[in-house]
Structure 1
Amino acid sequence: MHGRLRKAQKIAELLALRPSDGRPVRVLEVGTGSGAIAQYFSELLNERGVVNAVDVLDQRVVSTGYQFDLVKSTALPFPDGMFDAVISNHVIEHVGATQDQRHHLHELKRVLRNDGRGYLAVPSRWQLIEPHYHLAFLSWLPHRMRSPYLRWRGRGFYYDCEPLGMYSLESCLQACGLVYENQFAQAVKAMIDAEHQPPIAAKLAALLPMPVLQMFRVTSPTHVYLFAKNRAALANV
């Protein structure tokens, strides 16, 4: 749970929610899992905001402060343009193949306000150690070899994830008509601020100028993006 709270703090810093017209800020987390991130945002916004969360299973550890709905697919049970911010944190790799992943993004776009922002994080396909099953090179393999490799190593029977490389993810975002900004450098800085004892590598990376640090974004084990319906919505982040 403590790790989830640090993650929520990082997401909040990157989204930089700033209510300006007196109305409540509406936030949606898709794939809430434990509910820790949704609860963090409800406490952060307090009476200034309303937080919704959805998931295909109810696995919540904390359930207060936000509204929760079960969903059966990537379709979201909300009207168009409802939310100021949408969060998809390590979810898109679980929704299915490319068509399902694009529908997930289309739905995030649909429920987002024209001036709203979204947060998207996905583990890189090219991590040396696949983060869900902790096997080296698992997601590097062709699709037909992943499940047999999983069974051979005694870690399961079917590989049910579809992690993305940076360029594949950006292709999906473009296909959905979203504008986006890679947040690698900003995420490293935010992690330094959020972690009590950040990794030494992160500390060293944070010493680099932001433009130089951003050049290493393709090597990131997790790809982090802010996205919106238009460029103006990202201009003041």
Structure 2
Amino acid sequence: MIRRGVASRDIHDSEGDGSYDGPFAGRVSERFLERELTRVAMHAQSLCVPLATRLARAPRVLDVGCGTGGTTVALALSDLRPDEVVGIDASADAIDAAAVRAAGHGVVDGRTADGASLRFQHVEAGRPLPFPDGHFDLVTCVSVLEFIGTPSAREAFIAEMLRVTRRGGHVYLATPSPLRLREYHSRRTLGDWRRTRGYPWSSTPVALRRMFPGCAVESLAVERLRRHPRLRGIGWAAPVLAWATPWQRLLARKT
């Protein structure tokens, strides 16, 4: 399914007229394939461990823009010990692939071996999230925001994630840093500043924090640097070094 392109279309609001998100050519690299197939193990360490350290437990979890379900499955199997995990995506084909991935990790009839409920749902891009206010303890969003074309659409997208998060709950957001010469995905020089329709671009750290009004926001990129086996000796410099890392990782508590 990955070779057919279910994980290769990310931009859903450009009408397919950009060369980055144009018609799938029928090819994915072996490196891309391997990365997709190992996403559960990758996110189990890079995402679930720091979240479990911070939150201890999250009974109800929503993964927004779940793609083929790597993050969602990792969350369902994590030390967060969820009762309910829902993954949503704008690609119906990706949702089908996510169900296959979940089955490969022991999910039977929508339940993990520990009894957590896990399901995937197709939600069209730009639509309100089909969940009641304050339903989730944790909402995650990994590598989605940079594919939303306009600042106003990004603000509305994050506002929807906050709406479905309970008071005292958390939103975790991971998106590439724009403080690089080349845009992370398309490799366009200064692509984060030459904002062309059909291409991804990243919001600045200042703009991101402004999208979470009234929330307590911390950088988990800083925490990762402080815990890094080789860099923790200079953990005092982590707030500065985090600006140079490829990814922005924010955890916002809804107050």
State the TM bucket, normalised to the shorter chain.
0.7 to 0.9
TM norm structure 1: 0.74
Q: Which amino acid aligns with 2:246?
A: P
Matching residue of 1:12: 48
Give me the whole-angstrom Cα distance separating, in 1, the residues matched to 2:223 and 2:80. Answer: 26
Deviation at 1:47, TM superposition (A): 7.3
Matching residue of 2:146: 93
Q: Which amino acid aligns with 2:68?
A: S
Give me the whole-angstrom Cα distance separating, in 1, the residues matched to 2:226 and 2:67. Answer: 25
Matching residue of 1:50: 84
Matching residue of 2:23: none
Matching residue of 1:179: 216
Structure showing greater relative contact order (alpha-carbon pairs closer than 8 Å, 6 or more residues apart): 1
Matching residue of 2:120: 68
TM norm structure 2: 0.69
Deviation at 1:92, TM superposition (A): 1.1
Matching residue of 1:206: 232
Structure 2: any 5+ residue segments left out of the alignment? 1-36, 108-117
Deviation at 1:171, TM superposition (A): 2.2
Q: Which amino acid aligns with 1:125?
A: P
Aligned to 1:159, the other structure's residue is in SS state: coil
Give me the whole-angstrom Cα distance separating, in 2, the residues matched to 1:135 and 1:101. Answer: 21
Identity of aligned residues (%): 24
Could you tell me which of 172, 179, 189 is aligned with 1:119?
Answer: 172
Could you tell me which of 226, 231, 235 is aligned with 2:251?
Answer: 226
Give me the whole-angstrom Cα distance separating, in 1, the residues matched to 2:48 and 2:65. Answer: 17
Equivalent residues in 2 for 1:147-158, closer than 5 Å: none
Structure 1: any 5+ residue segments left out of the alignment? 147-157, 193-202, 231-237
Q: Tell me: CA distance 1:8–1:96, structure 2 relative to 1, closer, same or farther (3 Å).
A: farther
Cα RMSD, aligned residues only: 2.3
52-61 or 28-37, which deviates more: 52-61
Equivalent residues in 2 for 1:102-181, closer than 5 Å: 102-141=155-194, 143=195, 146=196, 159-174=198-213, 177-181=214-218
Are the aligned partners of 1:90 and 1:122 in contact in 2 as well (CA < 8 Å)? yes
Q: Tell me: CA distance 1:134–1:160, structure 2 relative to 1, closer, same or farther (3 Å).
A: closer
Give me the whole-angstrom Cα distance separating, in 2, the residues matched to 1:222 and 1:179. Answer: 20
Matching residue of 1:41: 75
| 1:188 and 2:222 are equivalent in the alignment | no
Q: Tell me: CA distance 1:159–1:4, structure 2 relative to 1, closer, same or farther (3 Å).
A: farther
Give me the whole-angstrom Cα distance separating, in 1, the residues matched to 2:82 and 2:43. Answer: 21
Q: Tell me: CA distance 1:8–1:159, structure 2 relative to 1, closer, same or farther (3 Å).
A: farther
Aligned to 2:223, the other structure's residue is in SS state: helix
Displaced runs of 4+ in structure 1, greater than 6 A? none
Q: Aligned pairs, how many?
A: 198
Are the aligned partners of 1:11 and 1:119 in contact in 2 as well (CA < 8 Å)? no
Aligned to 1:44, the other structure's residue is in SS state: coil
Q: Tell me: CA distance 1:220–1:69, structure 2 relative to 1, closer, same or farther (3 Å).
A: same
Q: Tell me: CA distance 1:226–1:46, structure 2 relative to 1, closer, same or farther (3 Å).
A: closer
Are the aligned partners of 2:64 and 2:141 in contact in 1 as well (CA < 8 Å)? yes
